[in-house]
Amino acid sequence: MKEVDAIIETLKHVLKAKGITYEQLADSLDISEASVKRIFSAKTFTLDRLEKICNIADLSITELAMIHDSQKADLGYEYTMEQEDFFADHPRHLAYFDLLLRVGSAAKIEKAFNVSKRSLSRYQKDLEGLKLIERHPKGKVKILVSKKVRWRVNGPLQKKYSELARQEFLESPFKERGEISSFHSIQLSEKSATFVANKLKEISQEVERINEFESQISSKSKDYGLFIGFRPWAFSILNEL
């Protein structure tokens, strides 16, 4: 993909993350929605129009390019075994580092979660020993790894917390606003099953992209959980027949 095309794709994801539709762009640019769709489809952007669309999204062309570069370069960081072993034995350290990755400021965490300075000092000292952060004067810290961290497959963290997380997540009746749950027991051909699996994978990847953009362009966010499962399966009671 050409660099310009890739930046336009980044812009589309930013607009989606901010909930800005083609119809809203058309109204702001005083052109038809069909024209907006044609511009994005053909990628026929003038610099003036690109700047106007960026302004509607409350960012500059430079910021758009920076978001694109960060997404292209950041492949994520996988915890080492030493780090996972430590976090598996120290869940509060794991919770603190997760907040640090998302919030980015030790001072904000201290204020929002009423964490004592003594606890903060202990967390930061241990995280520095794990080579995850670097401590600086006045309580400031520098994160030494990507903010996109991954647990090791079948590693200590996955073994200890994955089942617990699933249980806690699925305990909800999913009846509140913004919650959704759907379960289907279905029969599919191999071709249809492959199609469904690919669609679900696309959805998962799209949610991850939106999450990445949100972390860079939005200061107001709320924690959500997404669980997708799809596999050959039959209810065990059928074995009783």
40 and 96 in a single domain? The answer is no
| Residue 33 contacts residue 22 (beta carbons within 8 Å) | yes
Residue 81 and residue 46 share a domain = no
Q: Is 215's pLDDT higher than 60?
A: yes
Residues 161, 80 share a domain: yes
Q: Can you give the CATH number for the domain in which 35 is found?
A: 1.10.260.40
Give the pLDDT score at 46: 85
What percentage of the chain reaches a pLDDT higher than 70? 91
Residues 51 and 81 occupy one common structural domain: no
Q: Is the pLDDT of residue 123 over 60?
A: yes
From 40, 73, 106, the end of a domain falls on: 73
Residue-range definition of the domain harbouring residue 116: 75-171
Last residue of a domain, which of 73, 103, 126? 73
How do strand 141-143 and strand 133-135 relate by DSSP bridges?
antiparallel
Over residues 74-99, mean pLDDT: 90
Asked whether residue 59 falls in the same domain as residue 25, the answer is yes
- On whether both 32 and 113 belong to a single domain, the answer is no
Specify whether 82 is located in the same domain as 166. yes
Looking at the structure of the chain, the number of domains it has is 3
The least confident of 10-14, 100-104, 152-156, 233-237 is 233-237
Asked if residue 124 and residue 88 are part of one domain, the reply reads yes
Concatenating the DSSP letter of every residue in the chain gives --HHHHHHHHHHHHHHHTT--HHHHHHHHTS-HHHHHHHHHHT---HHHHHHHHHHTT--HHHHHHHHHHHHH---EEPPHHHHHHHHH-HHHHHHHHHHHHH--HHHHHHHHT--HHHHHHHHHHHHHTTSEEE-GGG-EEE-S-SSEEPPTT-HHHHHHHHHHHHHHHTS---STT-----------HHHHHHHHHHHHHHHHHHHHHHHHHHHH-S----------------GGGGG-
Do residue 153 and residue 86 come from a single domain?
A: yes
Average pLDDT over every residue of 143-169: 89
* Average pLDDT of the chain, as a whole number: 85
Residue that is last in its domain, among 171, 188, 213: 171
Over the stretch 190-205, which tens digit does the pLDDT of each residue have?
889 889 888 998 888 7
Indicate the DSSP class of residue 236: G
What's the whole-number mean pLDDT along residues 131-159?
Answer: 90
**62 within 8 A of 220, measured Cβ to Cβ:** no
pLDDT band at 57 (very low <50, low <70, confident <90, very high): confident
Q: Is residue 218 predicted with pLDDT exceeding 90? A: no
**Domain shared by 80 and 54, yes or no:** no
Same domain, 80 and 69: no
Q: What is the CATH number of the domain that holds 84?
A: 1.10.10
Say if residue 66 is in the same domain as residue 81.
no
